[in-house]
Structure 1
Amino acid sequence: MSQSSLWEVRSSPSQTDSTKIILVTGGSGLVGKAIEHVVSTGECREEEKWVFVTSKEADLSNADAVKKLFDKVKPTHVIHLAAMVGGLFRNMKYNLDFLRKNISINDNVLQTSYEHGVQKVVSCLSTCIFPDKTTYPIDETMVHNGPPHDSNFGYSHAKRLIDVQNKAYAQQHGCMYTSVIPTNVFGPHDNFNIDNGHVLPGLMHKVYLAKTQGTEFTVWGTGSPRRQFIYSRDLARLFIWALREYDEIDPIILSVGEEDEATIKEAAEMVVEGMDYSGEIKYDTSKADGQFKKTASNAKLMKYLPNFQFTPFKQAVKETCDWFTRNYDMARK
C-alpha cells in the first residue's frame, strides 16, 4: 500500500481497461479508514484499484481542486464520504457554515463525477436528514416529508440535497448516482473529541480521562435519547456491497434492526464495561438531549441481504475502546 499523499489498495499490480478505479473521499475519516481496512484484509477484487484521499490532497469545496484531483486519479467509481461534520453542539452553533460548506463539497464532487464520466457514485447521508416530526420507524420514503430537527438543520438540508441531485442527474443525464443512510457510526479512527465529536467516542474519551486522571465521568443530558449504532467495519462491508451491487437511485438505510436500538444511558454503561471503569456515572441534565429518537427501519437492506451478520454491539464497543486506548496519542481528539 502506498504511503504517499494519495494512498491505494489494489490486489494486482497490473492495470487494464477493465480496472475499476474507486476514489474514496474522506479517506482518513471513520468510515474511510474502515473501508481501507476491509479492502486491505481481503475484500479487494482483482479488477479493483482503491484510492483514498483526504482534505490534504484536495479542498473539495474548491471546484478547481476537485477537477485536478479527478484528472490525476481518473476514477471510474466514487464513494463520497467527505463532509464538514461535528457533534450536536457544534452543529447547533454553526448551522450556516455546515450548510454552505457541505453544499459546495457535494456539488463539486457530483458535477465533476459527471464531467469525468464516472460510472457510479455512492454518497453518504445521515439519519439526521429525516423530519423531526414523523412516525417511527423512519424509512427511505420519508426523507423529504418535513423539516429536520432544528439543532442541525444546516447539515441536514445539505445532505438531503444529495438525494435531490442524484435524482436530477439520473433524470437529465442517466447517471447512476445513489446514496446510503447510516445510523450512528462508531469504531476505530473515530473523532474522540469530547466537545465536537459524536456520542460514543466522546463517552470513551471521558471514561479514559476518568481512569487516567481521576476526573468525573459525566454524560451530557439525561441519557434517555435512543439511537441505533453501527460498527464502522460493518458499515464498510455494506458500502462495498452498495458500490458493487445496489443499483437504485433512491437511498438505502444501512443500520442494525430496530430491536438493537439503545439509550445513551445503555451506551454509556457499555463503554464503562468496555473500558473496565469502576467509577460512578453522572448525568448533566442542564445539557440538551437533542433529538429523542431516530428509529430507522432496515427492512429494505434486509430484503437485499437477509443473512448479513452485524458485529454484536458489546463486542464492537470493546474493540473500539481497546483501539482508542492503544492509539490514544495518535487518535483524533
Structure 2
Amino acid sequence: MGDSKRILVTGGTGLVGRAIQYHVEREKPEGETWIFIGSKDGNLSDREQTREIFAKHQPTHVIHLAAMVGGLFHNMAHNLDFLRTNLLINDNVLHTSYERGVKKVVSCLSTCIFPDKTTYPIDETMVHNGPPNDTNFGYSYAKRLIDVQNRGYHEQYGLSYTSVIPCNVFGPYDNFNLEHAHVIPALMRKVHAAKLENKPNVQVLGTGKPLRQFIYSRDLAKLIIWTLREYPEVKPIILSVGEEDEVSIKDAAVAIKTAFSYEGDLVFDTSAADGQFKKTASNAKLRNYLPDFKFTPFSEAIRETVHWYNENYEHIRK
C-alpha cells in the first residue's frame, strides 16, 4: 500500500470491524494507522457529522462497514427505513471520501442484494440482473447502489472505490438482540437461554431446510484487509466459502446446540417464513486471486464463537 496510511473503519465496533481490529492488533502493520469508529462517534446518515468525522481523523483509506442492519423479520417490517437510512449513510461516506481526497474505499455489501429469481451459483456479474427478494428489498437496493456509485466515482474522477460481497457472517461481537439478530446469533441466544433455564426445547423459526454459506468474521476480516491492500478492481468481489461448504439452517442449529452442550430438542416452527431457500455464491473470482486461502471449518468457528459468547455474556449486544 505504500507509505503512511490512515485507515478509517466505519462500523468499526461491530462484528466485522472488531474482527479486523483483532488481526490488526496482532499484526501491527508498519506504516498504517487504523481508526475504528462506531455509532457513538457520530451519525453517518447526517452529512455534516460525517464531514466532521473525516476532518477529525483525516483518513487516506476507508473500510466502510457501517449500515442499518437486521434479521429477516426486522427487514420485512421496516424496508423503507432500511432503504432511506442506508442510502444516506452510503452517500455521505462515499462523497465525503471524495471531498477529502481518500485514495481507496472498500465498502461491504451482502449476498442478499442479488436477484431473487436467478441461476446458481450467483457471481459478481449478476448483481443488477433482477429484483432482490421482497423480504429485504430496501436494504438490498441501498447496498446495490454502492456498486453504481463506485463505478461513477471511478469513471468521473478516476477513484479506486470498490466493494466486497460477503456471505452470511458470524463470530465474536455479533448482535445477539433477538429482534435484530441474524440466524446464527439468534440461535446462539436461544440455545444459551434454554440451557440456563433448563428448557426442554428451543424453537427454530422456519423449516430448517434453507441453505446458506456462512463465513467466520475473522476469516472475512483477513480478506477485507487483503482487498484494501491488494485488490485492484473497482468491480465487486464475493468473499465467501465455497458452494461445497453450504450449510442448512437445521445443521447450523445442531452445531450450535452441540457447542453449547445443550441436551434439549430443536423444534422447527414451519409456519414461519424461510426467506430465500438458497442464495449460493461463487467464490471463483476470489480463488483466482487467493487459491490457497484457508477458511476456518464451520464447526470450529461455531465452537470459537460459543466460547467467546460464554466468556463475554454479560457484555454482548442483547
Tell me the TM-score normalized by structure 2: 0.98
Structure 2 residue 155 is the aligned partner of structure 1 residue 171: yes
SS at match of 1:49: strand
From 28, 33, 40, give the equivalent of 1:49.
Answer: 33
Q: Distance in 1 between matches of 2:266 and 2:216?
A: 24
From 87, 92, 96, give the equivalent of 1:112.
Answer: 96
Q: What is the letter of the counterpart of residue 198 of structure 2? A: G
CA-to-partner distance for each residue in 1:243-273, whole Å, 9 max, x for gaps?
0000100000000000000000010011011
Taking the TM superposition and a 5 Å limit, the aligned residue runs for 1:268-307 are 268-307=253-292
CA-to-partner distance for each residue in 1:163-215, whole Å, 9 max, x for gaps?
00000000000010000000000000001122320000110111001100123
Q: Distance in 2 between matches of 1:201 and 1:54?
A: 20
Q: Distance in 1 between matches of 2:195 and 2:15?
A: 25
Q: Distance in 2 between matches of 1:247 and 1:214?
A: 52
User: Residue 34 of structure 1 aligns with which residue?
Assistant: 19
User: Residue 69 of structure 2 aligns with which residue?
Assistant: 85
User: Residue 245 of structure 1 aligns with which residue?
Assistant: 230
User: Residue 11 of structure 1 aligns with which residue?
Assistant: none
Gaps of 5+ in 1: 1-16
Q: Distance in 2 between matches of 1:148 and 1:281?
A: 30
Structure 2 residue 84 is the aligned partner of structure 1 residue 100: yes
SS at match of 2:68: coil
Q: Distance in 1 between matches of 2:180 and 2:22?
A: 25
Q: Distance in 2 between matches of 1:291 and 1:329?
A: 34
User: Residue 324 of structure 1 aligns with which residue?
Assistant: 309
SS at match of 1:51: strand
Q: How many residues align?
A: 316
In the TM superposition, what is the alpha-carbon distance from 1:325 to its structure 2 partner? 1.2
Q: Distance in 2 between matches of 1:280 and 1:46?
A: 50
Q: What is the letter of the counterpart of residue 14 of structure 2? A: G
Q: Distance in 2 between matches of 1:329 and 1:169?
A: 44
Q: Calculate the aligned-residue CA RMSD, in Å.
A: 0.9
From 226, 248, 272, give the equivalent of 1:263.
Answer: 248
Q: Distance in 2 between matches of 1:162 and 1:58?
A: 21
CA-to-partner distance for each residue in 1:103-122, whole Å, 9 max, x for gaps?
00000000000000000000
SS at match of 2:313: coil
Q: What is the letter of the counterpart of residue 309 of structure 1? A: K
In the TM superposition, what is the alpha-carbon distance from 1:140 to its structure 2 partner? 0.2
Structure 1 vs Structure 2: percent identity of aligned residues?
65
User: Residue 312 of structure 1 aligns with which residue?
Assistant: 297
User: Residue 139 of structure 1 aligns with which residue?
Assistant: 123
Q: Distance in 2 between matches of 1:167 and 1:194?
A: 36
Structure 2 residue 63 is the aligned partner of structure 1 residue 76: no
CA-to-partner distance for each residue in 1:119-169, whole Å, 9 max, x for gaps?
000000000000000000000000000000000000000000000000000
User: Residue 178 of structure 2 aligns with which residue?
Assistant: 194
Q: Distance in 2 between matches of 1:237 and 1:18?
A: 20
Q: Distance in 2 between matches of 1:247 and 1:322?
A: 37
Structure 2 residue 55 is the aligned partner of structure 1 residue 66: no
Taking the TM superposition and a 5 Å limit, the aligned residue runs for 1:207-218 are 207-215=191-199, 216-218=201-203
CA-to-partner distance for each residue in 1:76-105, whole Å, 9 max, x for gaps?
000000000000000000000000000000
In the TM superposition, what is the alpha-carbon distance from 1:278 to its structure 2 partner? 1.0
